[in-house]
Structures are given as structure tokens and as C-alpha cells.
Amino acid sequence: MKISQLMQIHREVRLTGKTDKVHSAVLTCLNAILEHKARNLVLLNVQNLSSIADYFILCSGASDRQVQAIAAFVQETLKKKSGLLPLGVEGEGVAQWVLIDYGDFILHIFYEPIREFYGLERLWADAPRMEIGDDVLKVKALAPEM
């Protein structure tokens, strides 16, 4: 399949225009991540900077097992609560950097040293961000700039 065909499929399955559903799914994802004690959780609003997604969610795990557990729990939770299945999942076997693509948002779960090495936050430095502290138990709403 050609890249152009993949991009067209990606655009067709996005929830764009359904902001409440997107925000609800992002909140569900953030809270699932928090339940598994991920560290350094950040939501980036990239909708004005990228055509591939509206949001990037980044978090870190302290071990490859924690990274795998976070990835599995997020997928299970979004399927149960929002009826969402990922468009694609990469890196689950190695669990150094797991990418889960939900169309409107893409989740990046890193093993901590790998996240520092790649520095995605630096690449998207112009994106509005919502940092969620490690002590937060639940996110009730997205920040206004999100």
C-alpha cells in the first residue's frame, strides 16, 4: 500500500470535527496512563503543526515491563470505555518506545532513557502543552489551550 493511500485511510478514520469525542478519548487515555503510574506525562496540541494528528501524548515507564503494561492497559481501556481500536501499534515487543496511533491522537510510551535520547518535546517545542505531574491521580478536564 502506498503512503498516500495510508494517509487517506488515516484521515477518514479520524474523529476530527467531533471535538467532544476526541477530548473524551484523550482524557480516558490520560487517566489510563495515570492508573499505571507512568511518569512525566505530557499532552501536546499539534493540530496547527501537523496533519497526522491533533494531539501527541508522551509518557515514560521505569522499565520495559511497565512500558508494555501501560500500552496494554491503555488499549484495553479505550476499547472498553470509548470503543476505540488503534490504527497501528509499533514497538510493543521491544518496549523501549511504543507508539499507539488512534488517528486524532498518538500515544508515545517511552522507557525513560530512550525518551531523553530522542527528545520529542524539543521537536514539537512550539506546540501548546499540558504537563501532568507525577503526583496527579486523575485528570478531570483538558487545559483551555488544548
Q: Output the pTM of the full model.
A: 0.85
Residue type, 119: G
pLDDT digits (tens, 9 = 90+) for 3-46: 555 445 454 444 445 578 899 999 999 999 999 999 999 999 99
Q: Where are the domains of the chain?
A: 3-131
CA distance 129 to 49: 13
In tens, the pLDDT along 46-102 reads 988 888 899 999 999 999 999 999 999 999 999 999 999 999 999 988 889 999 999
Q: How far apart are CA 62 and CA 28, in angstroms?
A: 22
127 contacts 44 by C-beta, under 8 angstroms: yes
- Predicted confidence band of residue 2 (pLDDT cuts 50, 70, 90): low
Superfamily of domain 3-131: Beta Polymerase, domain 2 (3.30.460.10)
Q: Look at residues 58, 50, 42 and name the one whose alpha carbon lies nearest to residue 106.
A: 58
Is residue 106 exposed (0-12), middle (13-18) or buried (19+ Cβ within 10 Å)? buried
